[in-house]
Structure 1
């Protein structure tokens, strides 16, 4: 919206077009929108008694949270979309790719949350139906990205600490699908404690903010292990909207949480970060930056494999944050330690960008 205003007013409001100013305003706007509308959402869900359904086989301390409302991801999405329309250049295709997944996966998450609340159990959409919907949206956006007339995305894989890019042809389509669906589900698995998932999301968005800015400059891409991507700096404004919205949500989601994110938030944010990684050619760097999500997912996979083969569990409960809970570590301690790990992994990821 402000970009259109700049075109009409020309040089009188050059500050409007400046990427730095738009990024800061985008962050602040999404943050304060969440602070403003958050209490209304919490009050509304409490009034209609739409609460998070607690797993029966989960840690006993979680039963104290059975009156905590869910679907907080709704106002996360609202604040991000508002900032995007206000500050982003909507002629940039990248913005629409990410918004499509944000809204599409948000809808799937909403259906999943709604079914859990309606049936008053922790089982939402069936696994097959849920993955079918996630796959349809993921494959749809991948098809659009790889068949656009500007040929934005190549099929080269960027490897951290390696200056050479590797051509993997059609396997890149499979990798893109895995990144989008895998990231959304990894965030969903991590979202099990108050504020546990949202800060790693914010850290990931911070990392992508910097990479988006560097990728838009050909000189930077020559010096660092990143691909030159024309107009990728517009993703900076979108990423800062995610950062601001995440911090605004944390205001209410920090321990003890007043509202939970729900699948509507975890699936949409995870899928969006996956698309950003694809657009920036940083799929492998996403694995490092989002290491907390990877660890949580691997813990679930290992638990299932071990139980199927050995009839024994590796962890007291999966995902791994529940394992530490059952061992007696306090929830706030687990949360902050996971945040620290996530920040360290972000820093490791950034220094892995090889300087010439």
Structure 2
């Protein structure tokens, strides 16, 4: 809203009004504003929750040996993150931008889905929360909406990057003059690192483009669902998910910025995506919100984000990557989320296979994988056999586990950015 106000005032030669057209100014302002809102609103939110004794159900001490210290800690702190994102974005963003609209819808949609899950856990005293099928339906629905919008919207276009060999064997990167609907996505480590979904569906003959768009929508659903669930699983220690998400957000903001700048897009040999600079404003607010949330969520936590926060964070990351055509790079960038999800899948599936044989065999001490590093030997199930029982050799305090996971996320983010130049 402020963007349009000052652009209107600019025609009257109001001093300083023109600065609102600069993406760097609005992004930094969004970052600062979201940090301040998160810090101020977070304090009042925590007090309000404590006065009404609204806290998370006591954690199982066999899972969380430090859970006794966290009794009575308020949850649903994801509301702090959502409010801290939406206010700066609504004030500073260009609300006619299709990408910004999709990000706002994703935030509200998954925020509401997570809120319902937390509400059932707290007020209905049901530790299981919202039934899994309803969560999946909610995640699939927003993925479908995003994928279909990017398919059908005339504003969701790109200018494809092409390489030309000039005299002296110099390779010059340029972009096609006309923006087009495109099914290309960036694939790392390959010299010509654009993958076209329609080429995958080439066996459909003349219908390969339509089939490619269907595959793209399915891919969007898978990415949104997988990343939001991965973030949800990662939210098991104080500051864990918020810290990792802030790091991922910084990397995505860099990708969004270079994708929206035709000179930088040519330098990195990636697609130029017109109007995607509004994602930089959104991601700045996102980074400020989760960093500000860490003020209260770092060990020892004064508030938990709950599913209200974790599902929203994962959805934001997934949808943003889809919009800037970098979804395949999430395997590296969101490596922590991927490992957390993979550990759960391995643990549950292996246990089911062995149970059919009459055995109780588990791979890890506990899952998601971060729980393995804090599980004590005395807390293991005596009736089960553990393949990796001796790993790690000793448990760690969760603050050390969290900080090491942050370091791994920084390394993965740096590697993901490097892949733009390594082919």
Q: For this structure pair, what is the TM-score category when the shorter chain's length is used for normalisation?
A: over 0.9
Mapping for residues 54-65 of structure 1, pairs under 5 Å: 54-56=58-60, 58-65=63-70
Q: Is the 8 A contact 1:160 1:354 kept in 2?
A: no
Report if the CA contact (8 A) 1:3-1:17 is conserved. yes
Q: Deviations over 1:260-281 (max 9, x none)?
A: 0010111111101111000000
Cα distance in 2 between the residues matched to 1:352 and 1:290: 14
1:318-341 Cα deviation digits (max 9, x unpaired):
001111011421111100000000
Aligned pairs, number: 356
Match of 2:141 in 1: 136
- Write out aligned runs for 1:141-160 (5 A): 141-152=146-157, 154-160=182-188
CA distance in structure 1 between the aligned counterparts of 2:337 and 2:68, rounded to whole angstroms: 24
Question: 1:156-235 maps to which residues of 2 (within 5 A)?
Answer: 156-162=184-190, 163-168=192-197, 169=212, 170-235=214-279
* RMSD, matched Cα: 1.5
Query: How far off is 1:209 after superposition?
Result: 1.1
| Farther-moved stretch of structure 1 (160-169 vs 197-206) | 160-169
CA distance, structure 2, for counterparts of residue 271 and residue 67 of structure 1: 28
Q: How do 1:340-355 and structure 2 match up within 5 A?
A: 340-354=407-421
Alignment of 1:313 with 2:313, yes or no, is no
TM-score under structure 1 normalisation? 0.96
Taking a change above 3 Å as real, the CA distance of residues 326 and 355 of structure 1, as seen in their structure-2 partners, is: closer
Shift of 1:204: 1.2
* TM-superposition CA deviations, 1:26-85 (whole Å, max 9, x none): 000000011111111111111111111244352232233231100111011011100101
SS at match of 1:326: coil
* CA distance in 1 between partners of 2:280 and 2:368 (Å): 32
User: Which one has a larger percent helix, Structure 1 or Structure 2?
Assistant: 1
**Residue 225 of structure 1: CA displacement?**
4.5
What is the TM-score when the length of structure 2 is the normalising length?
Answer: 0.81
Q: Residue 335 of structure 1 aligns with which residue?
A: 402
**Larger Rg belongs to:** 2
Asked if structure 2 preserves the Cα contact closer than 8 Å seen for 1:161 and 1:225, the reply is no
* CA distances 1:132-153 after superposition (whole Å, capped 9, x unpaired): 1222222122222211123436
| 1:175-232 deviation digits (Å, cap 9, x = unpaired) | 1111111111110000000000011111111111111111112332233242210011
2:118 matches 1:113? yes
The Cα shift of 1:355 comes to 6.5
Matched, 1:26 2:30: yes
Quick check: 1:78 aligned with 2:122?
no
Aligned to 1:288: 332
What's the counterpart of residue 91 of structure 1? 96
The alpha-carbon distance between structure 1 residues 225 and 191, as it changes in their structure 2 partners (threshold 3 A), is farther
Deviates more, 1:164-173 or 1:310-319: 164-173
SS at structure 2 position matched to 1:58: coil
Contact 1:116 1:123 in 2 (8 A): yes
CA distance in 2, matches of 1:325, 1:146: 45
Deviations 1:82-116 (A, max 9, x none): 01011111111100001101000000000000000
1:7 aligns with 2:56: no
CA distance in structure 2 between the aligned counterparts of 1:226 and 1:286, rounded to whole angstroms: 16
Q: Which residue does the alignment assign to 1:45?
A: 49
- State the alpha-carbon separation in 2 of the partners of residues 228 and 234 from structure 1: 14
Judge conservation of contact 2:146–2:220 (CA < 8 Å) in 1. no
- Are the counterparts in 1 of residues 144 and 218 from structure 2 also a CA contact under 8 Å? no
Given that residues 7 and 20 in structure 2 are in contact (C-alpha distance below 8 angstroms), is that contact kept between their aligned partners in structure 1?
no
| Contact 2:65/2:374 (8 A) holds in 1 | no
The answer for unaligned runs of 5 or more in structure 2 is 158-180, 198-211, 355-359, 377-394
The structure 1 residue matched to 2:280, chosen from 207, 211, 236, is 236
Q: What is the match of residue 17 of structure 1?
A: 21
